[in-house]
Structure formats: structure tokens, C-alpha cells
């Protein structure tokens, strides 16, 4: 239907002769004009060009001038009128923004809307505006406005077209990805940064095609080849019927990602440790009860062995920020209950670091040897002496190993052969040596006993070492000291 020549249209015609009106309209390069009475809400005039720009051959018969508001997409509507209100309150706040409308073909038409309030005595009484359709040929105007905003951001912010690649690449993107804006221009950002999305690009493209934002974690590669992780948000802006401008913001979360990954690794390690501890404690209880009829004796054995296990475990917890633990610290913790024997003890060796996997089994082995030394060995007599020495590194096999020598020297000797069966501590030592994938030998002489333990210091072992469990073999034991470990 033809628009009636109401008073607003007449005022608008007169306005064209006012200073500044024609330059404004000329600069706007409009695809439609609008004029509204701010003193009478709902009284508005919209030019036919606006309706044609939305795809209507003529003004729809059922449309009133003010109905153009209902065609604004809901996501943009509040922002439009909020900015209009601010402009009316403060002339310095420009009303110049991008608005998405529903077109005649149920399509989305992107429009740049600009307007100025006409004031009388400082009070806004009318508002004059123009709509400019953002065609593909005019997309650089949108890019210009976006670039002014995104250059201020410390995050990596860039605008890119699905067909034409990167259009704007801010300083944050240059810093984060190590790629200059000249190199980035026209490139596909996904290829440029080797982007890897959680479920692939197709999922992201589907959301953008639907006019929806997509956000999530993306793995990317910098120009120097290093891998980074970003929290990305992609927002689509329709610039033509067959192309979309994407405003993308990336925040570097590499440190956060590494922290989360470390937490996952620690959780897995904790689960592994707990599983091993349960297995070891179960073995301790089972072994300690064999051959014993006195519950008090069994209880003492279990308590002592669990205390040794706990001492070794506490060291590994206290050193959780590093991947290896001092061997000397482990030995001092294991031998701490025997403080009164310190004059009969020598620890000798350079600093050596045990991998975490070795702390618990090493603690168990030397706890059993210390217990045996108190009952039957060097520490069972006032003048006996215990020496622990070690060497670490390449011991001639081309591997990173540690060789530990536990030597007990007695003051008395004898020729009696051991008559007792292998002690009940022996299975624990053998089990622990197998956990280390190590080699352990024990040799008796008339002057004492020597135990040698060798195993790899690598975090992981391949299980190829030839293991020996020659405990209880060798020369005769000294005196009546049995060769068993209790």
C-alpha cells in the first residue's frame, strides 16, 4: 500500500533543506531511511527502499511503518534500542551498528544502521536514520569497524571469511601465533595454525551455518612449531547470501591445559600407587603370619613392615614436584628406627636419584635386611658394623643403573652351616627385586655377609634384565647365625 503523507514525512521533506542533513544522507549511502517522533513513541516513517532491501517488491500490505522493529532478530533487538537510548541521552554516543533483519525469503539480511537525534533546546525530539545493506562488496566497512575494536584486545582476535580467508589479524594474534598480519592476510586460519577441534571442523561449521556461536578448546601450532591450546569463540556474521564473516577470539590456555594434564597424570599415578600399596600390604600380612603362633609377634612384624613402607611412601609424597627421589633419603628413612646403631653404620656414595617406581620396593628390601641385621647380623653384637655404599650411572653395560652394596661385618665367626629354612622375609625381598626388574645377590663369608642390588634408574624398564635371586647361596654363614630373613 502507498505510504500516507503524514506530518513526519512532511517534516522530513523540510529537513532535507536543513544544514547537515544532505551530507549525512550522502555519507550514509542508504538502502532505506527512517524518521521517528521521540515525543510520541510508535510514530515512525520508513522509506520504501528499506522494504525493497529486505526483498519485498513493495511495502507489504499488512505492515505498518513501525513494524520494522519486529523484523529485527531477537538476539540484536535489545542492543539496538539500548544504543538508541544512549545516543539520545548523550550526543557523543554515536548510533552506528550492525543489525540483522528477517528478510522476505525468511533469510537473514545484515544491515548497518546509523542515526542522529534532532534536538530542540538540547532535548531530542526526532531521530533521523539510514539503513545500509552490508553486501559482500561493502564487507570491508564492517571489517574496518571490527579491526578498530579488536586491535585493543590482548587476546588473539581476528575476522575471516569462509571464502576469502583472514581479513583482520590483531596484534594479539601476531603475538600468540607468531604469524605477521601480512602472512596471515587471505589465509585459512585453520590451516595456518594447524587447528584441531575436539570433534572436527564439521561440528563447528554446522553451528556457524545455523547462525550460532561455537566455543571450545582448540589445539594449534605456532609458527615456531610449538603446540599451544586456546579457548576459542567463533561468532558468525552474514555478509552475503553465500559467505559468512567469522569473528574469532582465542585466549591462550596452554599453561592451564598442561596443569590439567599433569593433574590427570598424578591421578593415574595415585591410582597405581594405591593399587600397589594394597597388594604389598596384603603380602605383608600373609607372609608375616606364616610359621608364627604368637599373635603379638605377628602384629609386631606387620607394624614394623608397614612403618617401613610408610616411611618410603612419605618421601615420595614430600618430593612429588620432582620425578626422582634421593637414594640417601630413602636409606635414612628406612634406618631411622635404628638411631641407637648410628655408630655401627656407614653410608657412602654420591648423590643418586631413584625413579618414583623404585622407592617402595627399595624401602622394603632394606627394611628386611636391617631387621635381619638386628636379629642375626652385624647389629646383633656390639662391635658389628654395617656399611651401605652405592654407585650410579653407566656401570659398563651402557645403561643408567645403580649398584648398591650392603655389607655386614661380624666380630665372631663360625663354621656351622645354616640349619634353618629360608626366612619368611625372603619372599618380600624377592618380590621387591622383581618389581625393580633388578638383580640381587647375597654372599656369606666367615667375616660377614654382603648383599648386592643392581637395577635401572630409568623411569620405565623394559623387563630385559637377567635377574638373579641367589639369596641364601654362597659361603657358609658366620657362627650360628641362620641365613634366613625374618
Q: How far is CA 420 from the centre of its chain?
A: 58
Average pLDDT over residues 404-426: 62
Task: Give the pLDDT confidence score for residue 204 in this predicted structure.
Answer: 93
Task: Give the pLDDT confidence score for residue 201 in this predicted structure.
Answer: 94
Superfamily of domain 7-133: PAS domain (3.30.450.20)
Q: 95: helix, coil or strand?
A: strand
Task: Give the pLDDT confidence score for residue 282 in this predicted structure.
Answer: 61
Please report how many Cα atoms fall inside a 13 Å half-sphere around the Cα of residue 389, on the Cβ side.
4
Task: Give the pLDDT confidence score for residue 419 in this predicted structure.
Answer: 35
Same fold, 7-133 and 140-252: yes
Query: Where does the pLDDT of residue 387 fall: very low under 50, low under 70, confident under 90, or very high at 90 and above?
Result: very high
Structural element, H or E, at residue 161? strand 156-161
Is the torsion defined by CA of 440, 444, 445, 449 positive or negative?
Answer: positive
Task: Give the pLDDT confidence score for residue 422 in this predicted structure.
Answer: 42
Query: Where does the pLDDT of residue 239 fall: very low under 50, low under 70, confident under 90, or very high at 90 and above?
Result: low
Lowest-confidence segment of 250-259, 334-343, 406-415 by average pLDDT: 406-415
Task: Give the pLDDT confidence score for residue 106 in this predicted structure.
Answer: 82
Classify residue 445 by burial, with Cβ atoms within 10 Å: 0-12, 13-18, 19+.
middle
Q: Which CATH fold topology does 257-470 show? A: Heat Shock Protein 90 (3.30.565)
Query: Where does the pLDDT of residue 4 fall: very low under 50, low under 70, confident under 90, or very high at 90 and above?
Result: low
Instruction: Give yes or no for residue 30 having a pLDDT over 80.
Output: no
pLDDT digits (tens, 9 = 90+) for 456-479: 998 776 444 444 444 433 323 333
* Separation between Cα atoms, residue 115 and residue 268, nearest integer Å: 61
Where are the chain's structural domains? 7-133, 140-252, 257-470
Task: Give the pLDDT confidence score for residue 270 in this predicted structure.
Answer: 66
Distance set, CA 430 to CA 68, 121, 175, 225, 334 (Å): 86, 99, 57, 48, 18
Bigger pLDDT: 326 vs 20: 326
Please give the share of the chain, as a percent, with pLDDT higher than 90.
24
**CB neighbours (10 Å) of residue 344?**
19
pLDDT digits (tens, 9 = 90+) for 132-148: 887 654 455 555 565 56
| Overall CATH class of domain 140-252 | alpha beta
pLDDT digits (tens, 9 = 90+) for 146-171: 556 666 677 898 889 888 899 888 88
- Entry pTM: 0.40
Task: Give the pLDDT confidence score for residue 336 in this predicted structure.
Answer: 82
Amino acid at each position: 500500500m502507498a505510504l500516507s503523507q503524514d506530518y513526519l514525512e512532511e517534516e522530513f521533506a523540510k529537513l532535507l533543506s536543513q544544514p547537515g542533513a544532505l551530507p549525512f544522507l550522502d555519507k550514509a549511502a542508504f538502502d532505506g531511511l527512517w524518521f521517528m517522533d521521540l515525543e510520541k513513541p510508535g510514530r515512525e516513517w520508513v522509506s520504501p527502499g528499506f522494504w525493497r532491501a529486505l526483498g519485498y517488491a513493495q511495502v507489504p500490505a499488512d505492515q505498518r511503518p513501525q513494524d520494522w522493529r519486529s523484523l529485527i532478530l531477537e538476539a540484536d533487538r535489545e542492543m539496538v534500542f539500548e544504543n538508541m537510548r544512549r545516543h539520545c541521552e548523550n550526543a557523543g554516543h554515536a548510533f552506528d551498528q550492525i543489525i540483522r533483519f528477517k528478510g522476505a525469503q525468511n533469510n537473514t539480511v545484515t544491515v548497518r544502521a546509523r542515526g542522529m537525534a534532532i534536538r530542540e533546546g538540547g532535548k531530542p525530539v526526532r531521530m533521523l536514520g539510514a539503513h545500509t545493506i552490508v553486501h559482500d562488496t561493502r564487507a570491508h566497512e564492517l571489517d574496518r569497524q571490527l579491526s578498530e575494536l579488536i586491535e585493543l584486545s590482548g587476546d588473539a582476535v581476528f575476522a575471516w571469511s569462509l571464502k576469502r580467508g583472514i581479513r583482520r589479524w590483531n596484534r594479539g594474534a601476531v603475538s600468540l601465533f607468531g604469524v605477521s598480519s601480512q602472512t596471515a592476510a587471505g589465509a585459512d586460519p585453520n590451516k595456518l595454525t594447524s587447528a584441531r577441534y575436539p570433534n572436527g571442523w564439521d561440528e563447528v561449521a554446522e553451528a556457524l551455518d545455523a547462525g550460532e556461536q561455537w566455543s571450545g578448546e582448540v589445539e594449534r601450532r605456532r609458527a615456531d612449531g610449538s603446540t599451544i591450546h586456546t579457548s576459542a569463540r567463533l561468532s558468525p556474521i552474514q555478509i552475503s547470501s553465500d559467505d559468512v564473516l567469522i569473528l574469532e577470539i582465542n585466549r591462550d590456555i596452554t599453561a592451564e591445559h598442561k596443569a590439567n594434564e599433569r593433574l590427570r597424570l598424578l591421578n593415574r599415578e595415585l591410582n597405581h600407587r594405591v593399587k600397589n600399596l594394597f597388594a604389598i600390604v596384603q603380602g605383608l600380612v600373609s607372609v608375616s603370619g606364616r610359621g608364627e603362633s604368637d599373635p603379638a609377634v605377628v602384629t609386631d612384624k606387620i607394624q614394623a613392615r608397614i612403618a617401613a613402607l610408610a616411611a618410603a611412601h612419605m618421601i615420595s609424597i614430600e618430593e612429588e614436584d620432582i620425578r626422582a627421589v634421593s637414594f640417601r633419603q630413602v636409606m635414612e628413612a628406612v634406618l631411622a628406627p635404628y638411631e641407637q646403631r648410628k655408630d655401627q653404620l656407614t653410608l657412602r656414595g654420591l648423590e643418586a636419584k631413584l625413579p618414583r617406581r623404585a622407592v617402595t620396593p627399595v624401602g622394603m628390601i632394606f627394611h628386611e635386611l636391617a631387621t635381619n641385621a638386628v636379629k642375626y647380623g652385624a647389629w646383633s653384637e656390639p662391635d658389628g658394623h654395617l656399611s651401605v655404599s652405592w654407585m650410579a650411572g653407566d656401570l659398563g653395560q651402557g645403561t643408567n643403573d645403580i649398584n648398591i652394596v650392603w655389607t655386614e661385618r661380624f666380630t665372631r665367626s663360625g663354621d656351622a652351616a645354616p640349619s634353618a629354612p629360608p626366612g619368611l622375609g625372603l619372599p618380600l625381598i624377592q618380590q621387591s627385586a622383581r618389581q625393580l626388574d633388578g638383580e640381587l645377590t647375597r654372599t656369606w663369608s666367615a667375616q660377614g655377609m654382603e648383599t648386592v642390588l643392581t637395577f635401572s634408574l630409568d623411569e620405565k624398564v623394559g623387563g630385559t634384565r637377567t635377574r638373579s635371586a641367589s639369596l641364601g647361596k654362597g659361603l657358609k654363614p658366620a657362627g650360628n647365625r641362620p641365613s634366613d630373613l625374618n
